[in-house]
Every structure is written in structure tokens, then in C-alpha cells.
Structure 1
């Protein structure tokens, strides 16, 4: 690795590095192992704009390739790997940490301080038996999905850039190494708090909570019990996030507590997937043999994970003794999850069906629609997008995706009656629905095509797909194939925890 430190880029000279200032109990300062002979794979102009950087930053600043491949750092960066613990697949896994992630530093931006984090820059003290590397395949998926989720309006870490190398890495097969740079206001996880709670380190736990409140939840400082306010805010953000996942048909795949963002962001893209056929029991992670994180189970998993997070906060609530009063207060904060999730999902589904106002019977209408999609094995994204063309006088192309036309017609009659009840205007409703139902999502076969070409040295499809996914609601975004039914070979694709 090159130990040189290059001057900071002129548009990003201040690095507050607030998490680094917490001390050695929270992280290990270190440099990345880097990639030999790195090359650019892709960059996101939109993510760069969040940092206040020009679109050509990666060309303008000569040291950028070395920095974002883990080979060098800019002046002001304070690279580190953080320690955390967590529950994995519902089982306490003990100490974990940034096994293949490395925070480069925290940089001031027009939108506030942002953390820059490399994924795949080599081993850290928390790598356990791993090599600390990421492969090109998984890195492309994470880079593309981070940006895709943002443009779908779903809170997420961002993908700034992706670099690659000929360095061989063994997974199910020998692949090549890559490093993806992630951007977020914070990568704090439920597992950071669990780590200090389960190791009886309550002073560090308090320090971490104070840090989170001061820098990420400042409104909580005004509450009588700031930590309870923090729990309530995290609960609501998590509920709203998972409601958005369910509405768009996104499956995270590994909802361990160490993969749950304190800020309610989608982070740690691994074996994720978007639904093709609407199947509530769909398991996107080939490693999840028991289906713990199946699509329909995600809301309850989020609720369970919040309880694990709340347990870690018990020493900071009241006198820290877990009295009945303190437990009741914690339960009251957690109880907001069910209400907020239900309200958020209902609002999302009303928007997807073009319903302006909430009325009695709407939930039954939505549930029966989803049940119809399930029983008829209909593609979720395509059905929702085609529903945008529906009118009470002409069902349009959505009717064609159902084998049982009579079953659809029965539901459509109820839908038409519901639209008439609020005097819905077709053109206005259809335009609104097109802003709620994406034409294109990152399906596995689209990512796989980009991966296969990239593994042959052609990165053009990665950048093309990035552009398509940045306009997921537009009628002219991408090709007909991008928005079409998955090819037959897509059914053979599978992703696992090594993906």
C-alpha cells in the first residue's frame, strides 16, 4: 500500500471525524490494504453532488483512484474500522465489526457531515475468518442498488464510486476484487449499541448514545428522557423504511441487527432482490434456508430487531435498573412501530392505487389486489405500472397479465366504484400513479447482465443501467427489455451471503 497522503480536494477540505474522536473503545484506526493496479468501474455524478463535488471529480483529482481503492488517503481523513456486535438470523453472534469496511473519514458537505466508507479494502481486526475483500459481482450490485433505492425515494446509503482490480478473490469460484465507496450521514447500527450492552460497558454505551443524539438526533435533547426519545425516533424511522420496502417489493435478505441503520437507512446490500412474481414467501437469500427474512416477514423482523436495540438501551433509561416504570416507557416507545408501519404502508399503497383519501374498505381492496397477484402469479412491478393506465371504462393492459380474467374483472369493478366515490379524474390519477409505481427496478437479471459484461472488462452496461435506474418512474427510461418480464434464465439466478 502507498503510504502517501495527498492534499485534500479543494472542495472538501474539512474533515470533522466526530466518530473517530470517540476513542479506541469504538474503533481501530488503520489504513486499507488497497487494490493492486486499480481501475475505475463506475462513478455516480448524483452521489458526488451530495458531497458538493463536481461530476468529473474522479478525473480532476489525480489521487482519487488511489484513495478510493484503499491505497492512499487525503489529508484530513481518519480511516478506521468500527466494532459492533449483533444478532444474526435471530441468534446472538457476539463481537462483529467492520470486517471488510473501512471508514475513510467524515467530510463536511452542503447537506451536513457525511461518512465515506470503503467496502472491500482488506482485512481489519474484525474480519474474523474473512479476507476483508469484496468481489466485483457483489460490488456492482451494491453500487447500483444504493443509487436505485435513492431514486425510488427510499432512504439509503449512497454509492459514490466503484473501483476494480485483477486481484483474485475466492468465493464460490475465483473472482476479481473490487472496492465500492459508500456515503451516509452515519453508519451507526443497532449492533453498535448491542456490543457495549452485552459486554457490560455502560459508560461507552452512554457515550455512544450521547454522540448519536448530539450529531444525528438533536431534537431528542429537548426530551425529558433523551434516550427514550432516541428509541422512539429510531422506531418510527425503521417502521417507515420497511413500509417503503414492502410497497416497492424490495427484499433485503440479511436483516441482522448489525445490518440495521440507526438512521433508518437501507444499508449493507448483500443478497437483496426485488420481487418478480408477487410471492409473500419469497426468499431472496439462498443462504436463508429457513426463510427467516422472507419478504412477508420483514416487518416483524424489523420489530424484533428494534426490541434487541431497546434492550441495549435499558441501562440508559431512568436509573438504569430496568424498573417496571422504565420497561413500560420502553414498550410505549416500541409500540409506535406497529402504528407507524401500518399508516405508512397504507399511505404507500393508496398512492400506488391512485386513491387520494383514506376510506373505509381501502385495506380490503388493497389486500384483495395483492392476493389476486399472488394466486395468479403476476409480476408485481409490471402489474402495478400497468394499473396506472386503468380507467373505469377501459381496464387497459393490466387485465392482460391475469390468466383468470373474471377474477380480475370482479376486483376491477370494486376498484372502479372506489375511484368514482372520490370523483377521480383519470388523467390526473394516472399521472400521480406513475410517480408512485416505478417502471424499472434493479431486477436480478438486469444486474447479472451488467456483471457478466463487467467481468469481461466492459463497464458500459453498469453505467448505462445506473442512468436508467436514476429515472425509474419515467416512461422513456431505459429500453423495453429493462421494464419487461424477466427472461426464463432469470429463474435460475440465486444470491447468497457471499454475493
Structure 2
């Protein structure tokens, strides 16, 4: 299975015609109870908003062709490509900790899977917002422009940050309206992932008492995406252990970059350890470990500091669903036991990299804890702090004023900086080399909510230039891009009033 977050793109011939895109659908080979075959519902006069060049190249398509009528129709759902078997999958899940019963693809339609360039694997194409399905639960199956732009931009931004994620090929729009809190125009995002199977896909069959279907799904996922586990002594135990490890690592990667998902329900958790289903997400700005990015999350279940714990909880929910296959509670618990150690190990690795530390010492956790304590006390901007810390100099203290000035209590920062300086000196750290390494680890540009909001408001007035520009900036998050420096600045005061919720 290709890692779509990190696989390098090598030159390959691009397809000039969509008809040359060979589509199959391995998920459709499962029994009919796993999905409903249906066609997308057309949108009126669709048009292209933007396309990700690198995502298009991943499956051999030329981004320049996406504005054509054929491409827009295909990636809006107005025309079905040859070989496609459109379907909506059924699944269930726990939402905000409560069993929600049957859910399913309420506004997502899987077109099928296509080969990646140079035959490195296959990627599923899924239309989000292409109309109602049997799982829409009284909804219209549509996505609105604002949420579609947010998902499109963040999917590709996370890819550029090196974090495992689903991707977004393109986003199309229409002047057709749907009713939310107010009337809003519709849009469709074409999402890409090796698989969109979720933890909730397994919960569905477990809670419905259908062990044969549960085994069918598990065998399909293992054979297709985890073939190295097929010959394990207990393949289902090995499967749960590997998903647990990937989830622990993903949580550490989220924490290290300040990303908050907002809705970590089990139906939003990828069985491949990918970031999936972008809704009320956010990137940490003024550091507060208890920050809740989702305005709908009244209890703070999915606050930033809760994400690692919820990741663990969700793995236990998956373990419960797989218990009949694994065979015993003890074996299931054994498959889950390494979550906390894997999370701690990965986060420790990432924090050392973020601070430019090449060695590990027993008291490093004290340095990290003191740092985060100061950041919380003075509400220091998360992304700016780590980026500017990369410019820290051991001897030229004047150069350190940029990071120092982020703090109100500068005396406390100076005390911490002395600890940091002494720690760097223990490994003979060199300013120039450390700066290069830290700037390759700590992004300068992330998708702040206000940046997305500016792009959305322009798009609502038929100006899509900011969507295009913002994506191109976020595709190179570690580069200086001095001409775009304002996109890395502290958010304006009006951004404090922005709220995102489950409707986002």
C-alpha cells in the first residue's frame, strides 16, 4: 500500500483523456450488504474552483485539463466514468462517546479505485457532496462551498506537512443552493485515499451480531492493505496491533504540529491511520492545551490535550469490534497494550526534532514541560514559536529577540533559554545546521482558520484566486516564501471571533 502522505512523485506520462483512466472498485467486490450502488445526483452548471496539481499527478492526470467540461462533469458527479461502480458504504460508530448506531456515507459516493503513477498502488476516488444516499439520515447529501474549501485546503496542507491523510484532488462548485443555517451554494470535493474504511465499519457488523460479515471485512482489509499480516499466527490480533500503532503515531504527529481534528468519532477514524473527514478542524494559535476547536463540542471531549486519549479510546472501540475474531479478551488487550508507549516514543522523537536536539537525555522532558508551561502562561502562538526557535543562536542573543518577544514574561523565557542553550551545548550543536534541520521540521505556514475564511469569503463572491494562492503557499509549508510572509504572521484581532462547528 502506498503512503500517500510521503510517496515521492516521479515523472510519468500524463493522461490526456479521462477515458484513459482505468477505474475498478475492489470494495464493490464485497457482498451487497456492505454498500448501496447508486449514481451521484447532478448539480446545475458546475464549474472548477481549484485542482491540486500534485494530487492529479499522483494518478497521472494533467491539472491543466480539469477546467474542461468533461473533467468538471466527472468530478462533480454529473457524468460517471467508464468502469466506475459508484456506491455508498454502510458503517456505524460512536459519536462523542455515545453509540450512534447505523451511519454510513451520507454525502460521499465512492467512484472506485485507480492506479497511482508507476503502478505503486491504487487510490480510491470519492465524491463528497454528490447527493443523497440511503445513509443521509434526512439530509440532502450535499456539501456547501465553505466546508468544501476547508477540506480541500487542509487535506493538501496536511499532505505537505508529511502527516498521513486522505487527499483532495479538486473542488468544483455550482450556483445551486441548499439550506443550512442560511442558504448556501453547493460544492463537491473529490477525495483520495487507499481506503475509506473506518473503525466504525467494523463496529457496524459487531453490534449487529454479524460475525461472518465482520470476518469478511477484516479479511478484505488485511489482504488488500496489510498483506504482510496474512500469515501471522493470529492475523486479527496483528491487524489490531498495527492499526493501534499507526493511530498512536498519527496522534503524536497531530500534537506536534498543533492540529486539532475536532470530531474524533469512531466513524471518522481511518483503518489505515490516515487523517480523515475534515470538518471543524483547527491549528493551534495561542497555545492552550485545553483548546476546543469545535464549537459543537460542549464538553471538550475532543480538545487538543484530549486527542491522544481519545485515539486510545477509539482503538479500544475497534478492539471490542474485533474481539470475536481475535478470540479472547486477553489477546485483544495484548494487541492494544503498546498504544501509550508508541505514542510517547513518537511524540518524544518529534519534540526532539522540533527543538533541534540530536541526542536523548534523561532530563529532556523537564525542558519540554517548562517550554509548554511558558507557552501556555503567555498564550504564545504555537507555529510562530517553533519556527522562530529555529533561528535561536547560542551566542548572539540579539538574534533571539524575535522568539523572545513572543513572551510577556521575558525573564521566564530567558531562564528557559539558558536551559535550552546549555542542553544544546552538551551535544556541540551548531547554529547553521540546527536551523536547517528545525526549519525542515517546523512549518512556517499552516492553514489558520482566518486564512481559510478569507479564501471562503472571496469564493462566495466568485473570486477563487485566494483558494488557488493559499493552496500553493501551503504546498511548501517549510519554505521561507518571503513574498508571502504575511500568511505566517499572527492572526488579526477579528480572527478571535471565528467559530467552526460540525456544520463546518
Q: What is the match of residue 250 of structure 2?
A: 241
Quick check: 1:16–1:108 contact (8 Å CA) kept in 2? no
Could you tell me how far apart the structure 2 residues matched to 1:160 and 1:205 are?
31
Equivalent pair of 1:197/1:312 in contact (CA under 8 Å): yes
Aligned residues: 484
Matches within 5 A, 1:404-419: 404-419=409-424
TM (norm. structure 2) is: 0.94
Residue 11 of structure 1 and its aligned partner are, at CA, apart by 4.3
Which residue of 87, 98, 101 maps to 1:91? 98
Deviations 1:286-328 (A, max 9, x none): 000111000000000000000000000011113xxxxxxx212
Q: Is 1:186 aligned with 2:191?
A: no
Which consecutive residues of structure 2, in runs of 5 or more, have no partner in the other structure? 1-15
Aligned partner of 1:433 in structure 2 is: 438
Of 210, 215, 218, which residue of structure 2 is paired with 1:209?
A: 218
Matches of 1:107 and 1:149 in 2, distance apart?
22
Structure 2 equivalent of residue 54 of structure 1: 62
Q: Deviations over 1:134-178 (max 9, x none)?
A: 000000000000000000000000010000001111112111000
Secondary structure of 1:479's counterpart equals helix
Q: Deviations over 1:417-476 (max 9, x none)?
A: 000001101100011000111001000000000000000000000000000000000011
SS state at 1:222 partner: coil
Q: 2: CA distance between counterparts of 1:480 and 1:44?
A: 22
Counterpart in the other structure of 1:3 = none
Q: Which of 423, 428, 447 matches 1:423?
A: 428
Match of 2:296 among 276, 287, 305: 287
CA distance in 2, matches of 1:8, 1:20: 25
Cα pair distance change 1:477/1:168, threshold 3 Å? farther
- Please state how far the C-alpha of 1:477 moved relative to its aligned partner: 6.0
How far, CA to CA, are the matches of 1:292 and 1:192 in structure 2?
22
Please name the residue that 2:280 is paired with.
271
Q: Aligned Cα RMSD in Å?
A: 1.2
1:321 equivalent in structure 2: none
1:62 CA drift (Å): 4.4
Cross-structure match for 1:28: 36
Distance 1:433 1:106, change over 3 A: same
| Other-structure match for 1:37 | 45
Q: Which residue of 2 aligns with 1:375?
A: 377
Cα distance in 2, alignment partners of residues 295 and 401 from structure 1 = 21
2:177 counterpart of 1:168: yes
Measured in 1, the distance between the counterparts of 2:181 and 2:500 equals: 11
1: CA distance, partners of 2:96 / 2:58:
34
Kindly state the Cα deviation for residue 359 of structure 1 after the two structures are TM-superposed: 1.1
1:343 maps to which residue?
Answer: 345
Q: Which residue in the other structure is 1:448 paired with?
A: 453
Q: Which residue of 1 aligns with 2:389?
A: 387
Q: Which runs of 5+ in 1 are unaligned?
A: 1-6, 319-325
Q: 1:81 aligns with which of 75, 88, 92?
A: 88
Maintained 8 Å contact 2:285/2:383: yes
Whether 2:24 is the aligned partner of 1:16: answer: yes
The structural deviation recorded for 1:336 is 1.1
**Mapped contact 2:447–2:474 kept (Cα < 8 A):** yes
Segments of 4+ moved more than 3 angstroms: none
Q: How many Å apart are 1:10 and its aligned residue?
A: 4.9
State the distance in 2 between where 1:419 and 1:329 align.
44
Among 464, 470, 477, the alignment partner of 1:459 is 464
From 103, 121, 129, give the equivalent of 1:120.
129
Secondary structure class of the residue paired with 2:405: helix
* Helix, strand or coil at the partner of 1:401: coil
| Structure 2 counterpart of 1:4 | none
Using a 3 Å threshold, how does the CA distance of structure 1 residues 347 and 210 change in structure 2: closer, same or farther?
Answer: same
